[in-house]
Structure formats: structure tokens, C-alpha cells
Amino acid sequence: MKANNKFKIGDHVGVISDTLTGVITKIEFQLITIVCEDGFEYTYKPNELIINKDWDKLISHSSPQDMTIKSVQPKAQFKVKKGNFIKEVDLHIHELIENEIGMTNFDKLSLQLKVAQKELEIAISKKHPKIIFIHGRGAGVLKSELKSLFKKYQVDFHDASYTEYGQGATEVIIYQNKK
């Protein structure tokens, strides 16, 4: 059998039908063994895996003039509402990256979630009371993954104002002293 040249030992990969990610440790015939961050080994066929891109290195919070072709610059905006600044982050892929050619749906979702996580952590560290993530309606995959992400933090979240955002945004309330 012909070996698959797409993957190599040491590549960071994700499982297409799961949220599992890991590092390739062995490639034999048409089977690839990965080790997840918990140390467990799993074996998959090449068509069940996708190479993970390291979005951390690409996401930049610098000014737009410092952007390189490969950097990602979230377009966060602030609105003044009732005397408070409310941060808005548009997670539509065309707002995050100039060219999405060659990106798989997994790549796009990974990038959107990484940007959301970084923006949420920045908002928490800067003690912003609220942040709104604009994700669009679509099939609801991004919205569902965002909910899973928000559950890891001491925040509350709900659909943002329908009159302002329609059905495509989630408002996150950040508590500084939530018990």
C-alpha cells in the first residue's frame, strides 16, 4: 500500500468527526496513530484527520498597518451604550482574514474560536462588563461551539438584542466577582 505523504510524524492534527486533537506519533500503511494532550493513543485513517494550523501565531492584536499577509486582525469595535463601552467582535471569516482560499471548514471554525477566546480573555483582563460576538445565523455550528467555550469561563451569555443584531449574535456578561 502506498503511504500517505500528506502527514508526517510530529504534525498537529484534528479528527474531522470529533473535537479530539493530537500529535502524530506513528504512521504505518494507511493507519496514523496520534497522542492527545491527555496522553491517550488513537489510530485513524488519513481521511479521518486534518492538519491543525497554529492560529495563535497568526492572530495579532497590533494595528492594521502592522499586519502581514498571514496575520489575523479581529475587527473589534466599541459602542457606547448607557454610559458603558461594549466591545463587539465580528467573527465572520471574511472579517478576520483577507483570503480564505484553501481553508477547510475546520480551519475556519478553529480560527473563529481562537479569536473569540483571545478577545474574551482580553475583555476579562481589562474588566469589560460585556462583549458581543457577532457570529451570524448559518447552521449554528459556531454558535454552539461558542457556548461550549463560554462555559469554561465565569461569564453568563445569552442571545444579543434581536433588534440590533438579529439572530446572529451572542452577548457575554463578564462578572468580576462571580461566586
Residues 113-122 pLDDT 10s: 999 999 999 9
Residue 91: partners with Cβ closer than 8 Å, 6 or more residues away: 112, 115, 116, 133, 134, 135, 136, 142
pLDDT attached to residue 98: 78
pLDDT attached to residue 80: 54
Shared domain check, 119 and 66 = yes
The domain in which residue 37 lies consists of 12-51
Shared domain check, 33 and 72 = no
Shared domain check, 95 and 66 = yes
Average pLDDT over residues 108-113: 90
Among 77-91, 136-150, 151-165, whose mean pLDDT is lowest?
77-91
**CATH code assigned at 129:** 3.30.1370.110
Look at residue 1 and tell me if it is in a domain.
no
Look at residue 6 and tell me if it is in a domain.
no
pLDDT attached to residue 84: 63
Shared domain check, 61 and 39 = no
Question: Is this model's pTM higher than 0.85 or not?
Answer: no
Q: Which three cell numbers stand for residue 114?
A: 481562537
Number of compact structural domains in the chain = 2
Shared domain check, 21 and 62 = no
Residue 77: partners with Cβ closer than 8 Å, 6 or more residues away: 87, 88, 90
Look at residue 4 and tell me if it is in a domain.
no
Q: Which three cell numbers stand for residue 9?
A: 510524524
Residue 65: partners with Cβ closer than 8 Å, 6 or more residues away: none
